[in-house]
Structure 1
Amino acid sequence: MAMRFKNLDGSGPQAFTRVFKWAVTDKLAGKRRSAPARAVVPHVEPDLAVLATPPAPGEGARLTWLGHASWLVQLDGVSLLIDPVLRDAINVIIRRNVPPGVPVEKLPHIDASLVSHNHYDHLDLPTLKQVGARIVTGLGHAPVFQGQGLSFHELDWWESTQVGPVRVHYVPSQHWSRRGLNDANQMLWGGFVVEGSSARVYHSGDTAYFQGFKEIGARFPKLDAALLPIGAYDPAWFMRLQHMNPEEAVQAFEDLGAMAFFAMHWGTFKLTDEPLDEPPARLDAEWLRRGWPRDRVHVLPVGGTHTVRHG
């Protein structure tokens, strides 16, 4: 089956030979960095009574990190889930290092689930079915959702849809997609800009560093929050074409012109070779090197909540 989608620079998924070298050859040869499968990652109990009621118009956006790339974003009376993966494991094999910030059964009413792309650590069909909300995602995802009893709405890059009073925009990322053996790049990947009356929030989805951050920042100036991935980057020769390291994430934040940085995509699942707890330390070092204000960077504990609004 021919590839349908490509990145802005024309690139597609990595060649199988590169995947095999990382996953098999280098592992057998002992060339891969070794790190424990577990680590201590901060986790707090969420205030479920507060989360039960989304902020009203004018009160900004409440952001709750659920672990990995999963977020509860609440604004203008609306509750959205982004990339909800709230089970104990993905694909049975890769188990959570830290429990989800809010279990599915304790979530507030969800108005829509936003799914950035089809990789299993971002599109978890059992979680989405348990939530039961309308799904907003990229083009080409009908084969996943048809017959599942879920309503879904597909968007191309730069298209948008309404969830109540909130506008949801789908924007490019530098990544790829595959869910089966023969569907490489048949389903579009991207990120989201969630826009309400008093806050504008960007979630990058999975992405490498790319020039698209500057265009997103130009189209959506003064983003109040940028939710950016800082993990799954080692080894760089393989991962940098699809994921960012913390230093690249900081550069992406600068390109976006956003007000506040929120770290994600670290500490939850052991997907790559770096230690699970290394990304925040590298982020902190890069922030310090640049001399930027500490109150603009947030590494929330899993289950932690922060509210942003237009300055």
Structure 2
Amino acid sequence: MALRFKNLDGSGPHPMSTVFQWAVADKVAGRRRKSAATCAMRRVEPDLAVLAVPPAPGEGARLTWLGHASWLVQLEGVSLLIDPVLRDSIPGFIRRNVPPGVPTGQLPPIQATLVSHNHYDHLDLPTVRQVGAPVIGGLGLTRYFQRTGLSVTELDWWGSTRVGAVTVHFVPAQHWSRRGLADVNETLWGGFVVEGTHTRVYHSGDTAYFEGFREIGRRFPGIDAALLPIGAYDPEWFMEKQHMNPEQAVQAYEDLGARRFLAMHWGTFKLTDEPLDEPPQRLDAEWKRRALPVEPLHVLAVGESLTVAPGAPRQG
């Protein structure tokens, strides 16, 4: 089958025989690690009055973790959502382990919703429709919104668009796309660099570790905050083509040359075999093994915000 889109290295998703081995054969044979579907998660009640007012131009960026890969990113007087999945469950009867950091009905006015790719744990159409903001995503994404009345801006890798005073860049990731039975890699996946006059924020989307992190860091030097996935990696023989483990996420952070590491994609949905609370433990161990300074590492509570102070004005 010819694929419309491929990764930078030419790869696509696992063949169905490999998917069957992971999803069915290994499970029946008892070869997959067993762990609980829930865990205790830190969650804080956000200050909705504060979130209602995004930082003004030149005041930096406020980043609020809503759970999984969902973020509220506010800068330059603009509020953006990235990969908002805020309902109680996702298709496949996978329920949330922790409520969203901010329920959909309590979000501030949103100027744009950024969608990294079409997997159900990153693109939740009911959430996006309820938010009602214009959508920005990869090539081919418009098909999912034709009956919603929402405007969609499609971007190729390295493409960009403006939302007020903010520039949104779509950048490569090592992943794949599929939402139905016959649409493998028909829409483009990726990550985002959200750029204001003084602040750059990177959201990787779903991704395996790949050489593209160095190129993203080269094209966007001085990334102030990298939002990187640390969960959904076990069994690694199957997941490593599409998700990073915590040790690889630290390497990605160093490849990017980012100032801060913010962990995501863990603790919310039980998608793979590792315990839900294992990823931050491995992240902490790897951070200490590399003797990295403690201050740049942030494992936020769900609903918690981090304000990234502005740096020097961006050039270009």
Matched residue of 1:142: which SS? helix
1:66–1:302: 8 Å Cα contact kept in structure 2?
Answer: yes
The AA in structure 1 aligned to 2:111 is D
Amino acid at match of 2:16: F
Tell me which amino acid in the other structure corresponds to 2:106. K
Distance 2:309 2:115 in 1: 24
Helix, strand or coil for the counterpart of 1:267?
coil
Question: Is the CA contact (8 Å cut-off) linking 1:83 and 1:113 kept in structure 2?
Answer: yes
Q: Alignment partner of 2:2: what SS? A: coil
Q: Are the counterparts in 1 of residues 141 and 187 from structure 2 also a CA contact under 8 Å?
A: yes
Alpha-carbon contact 1:173-1:191 (below 8 Å) kept: yes
> Which residue in 1 is equivalent to 2:48?
48
1:170: how far off? Answer: 0.1
- In structure 2, the partner of 1:236 is 236
8 A Cα contact 2:161 2:168, kept in partner? yes
User: Which position in structure 1 is the counterpart of 2:78?
Assistant: 78
Cα displacement (A) at 1:150: 1.0
Amino acid at match of 1:175: H
Q: How far, CA to CA, are the matches of 1:239 and 1:92 in structure 2?
A: 18
What are the equivalent positions in structure 2 for 1:1-311 lying under 5 Å apart? 2-91=2-91, 93-311=93-311
Following the alignment from structure 2 to structure 1, what is the Cα–Cα distance between the partners of residues 150 and 92? 23
Separation in 1 of the partners of 2:67 and 2:54?
Answer: 20
Unaligned runs of 5+ in 1: none
Shift of 1:74: 0.1
Contact 1:173 1:189 (C-alpha < 8 Å) held by counterparts: yes
Unaligned runs of 5+ residues in structure 2 are 312-316
1:310 Cα offset (Å): 3.7
Contact 2:64 2:306 in 1 (8 A): yes
Per-residue deviation, residues 134-171 of structure 1 (Å, max 9, x unmatched): 00000011221112211110000000000001000000
Write the distance in 1 (CA, Å) between the matches of 2:184 and 2:213: 24
Distance in 1 (alpha carbons) for counterparts of 2:310 and 2:287: 23
Distance 1:98 1:7 in 2: 32
How much is the aligned-residue C-alpha RMSD, in angstroms?
0.8
Contact 1:267 1:277 in 2 (8 A): yes
Q: Is the 8 A contact 1:172 1:190 kept in 2?
A: yes
Q: Which runs of 4+ in 1 moved over 6 A?
A: none
AA partner of residue 121 (structure 1) = D
Q: Deviations over 1:259-311 (max 9, x none)?
A: 00000000000000000000000000000111111110000000000011344
Counterparts of 2:214 and 2:309 in 1: how far apart (Å)? 22
2:59 and 2:310 in contact (8 A); partners too: no
Percent identical among aligned pairs is 73
Task: Provide the C-alpha distance between the structure 2 equivalents of 1:19 and 1:88, rounded to a whole number of angstroms.
Answer: 27
* Paired residue secondary structure (1:128): helix
CA-to-aligned-CA distance 1:180-228 (integer Å, 9 cap, x gap): 0000000000000000012100000000000000000000001000000
The residue type paired with residue 200 of structure 2 is R
For the 8 Å contact 1:3–1:183, the answer to whether it is kept is no
CA distance in 2, matches of 1:231, 1:38: 14
Which deviates the most, 188-197 or 138-147? 138-147
Residues 1-36 of structure 1, C-alpha deviation per residue, up to 9 Å, x if partnerless?
Answer: 731000000001111111111100000000000000
CA distance in 2, matches of 1:197, 1:281: 35
Q: Verify the 8 A CA contact 1:141 1:187 in the aligned structure 2.
A: yes
In 1, Cα distance between equivalents of 2:287 and 2:79? 31
Structure 1 distance, partners of 2:41, 2:23, is 26
Q: In structure 2, what is the Cα distance between the partners aligned to 1:54 and 1:179?
A: 33
Q: 1:4 & 1:21 partners in 2: Cα distance?
A: 25
**Deviation of 1:92 (Å):** 5.5
Q: Is the 8 A contact 2:97 2:269 kept in 1?
A: yes
Rounded Cα–Cα distance in structure 2 between residues aligned with 1:17 and 1:255: 34
CA distance in 2, matches of 1:29, 1:92: 22
Is this contact kept in 2: 1:62–1:308, CA < 8 A?
A: yes
Is the Cα contact below 8 Å between 1:39 and 1:276 reproduced in 2?
A: yes
Partner SS state of residue 295, structure 1 = coil
